[in-house]
Amino acid sequence: MTPRKPEVLIPEAEVRSRVEALARQISEDYAAVDELLLVGVLKGAFIFLADLSRCLTIPRSIDFIAVSSYAHSSRTSGAVRLVMDLRTPIEGRHVLVVEDILETGYTLEYLVDVLAARKPASLKTCVLVRKQRRQKVQATVDYLGFEIPDVWVVGYGLDYAERNRTLPYIGVIEPDDRSA
Ligand code: PRP
């Protein structure tokens, strides 16, 4: 059976204008710094990072980091591990972590701990969507795109079993379609 097309939760135009607004705010806040390093968290953040970075009006550079939950268990245990590190040192640099989604908060909490230990000049976080009802640990989000309900979202970088990452909007997968 062909899975149904995900229902629209946040339309493409709304995502675009929110990303532009975040970029304006970030450009204003970092206007005085030499350069902002955007750290995209793979894989989910790749589209958000691409669009956000192209809307910024300040000097910026890009790096990527990848994490994984142990046996896909982060949602319950919080055990996260680094699977791909940054290519460049961040000591003394202004760093903005760019994430697609915050659910339990374990991933962002882990990343902030790891990166803060490297003594950046500043460290902030930018998250496209947050499910506050699922959050288990305090993970500070400095720039937030959207607060969303506790539904399974796909599109704009977000996937379900690697599907639907490249949808231009943020959609919802119904439980019936998850096994399809
Ligand atoms: C997602 C997302 C975050 C993490 C958030 O990654 O990109 O990194 O989950 O969840 P948490 O707040 O409960 O820790 P996922 O494991 O789906 O990998 P992906 O980005 O490669 O799709």
Rounded CA gap, 145 and 136, in Å? 20
Tens-digit pLDDT profile for residues 54-79: 999 999 999 999 999 865 554 556 78
pLDDT of residue 25: 98
Domain boundaries, the chain: 7-172
Among protein residues, the one whose CA lies closest to atom 9 of ligand 1: 101
Distance 19 CA to ligand 1 centre (A): 19
Residue with the smallest CA separation from ligand 1 atom 20 is: 44
Question: What CATH code is assigned to 7-172?
Answer: 3.40.50.2020
pLDDT of residue 4: 79
pTM for the whole thing? Answer: 0.94
Helix intervals (H) in the chain: 12-29, 46-55, 74-77, 106-116, 175-178
How confident is the model over 12-36, as pLDDT tens digits? 999 999 999 999 999 999 999 999 9
Give percent of the chain above pLDDT 90: 86
- Our answer on whether the CB atom of 107 is closer than 6 Å to any ligand 1 atom is yes
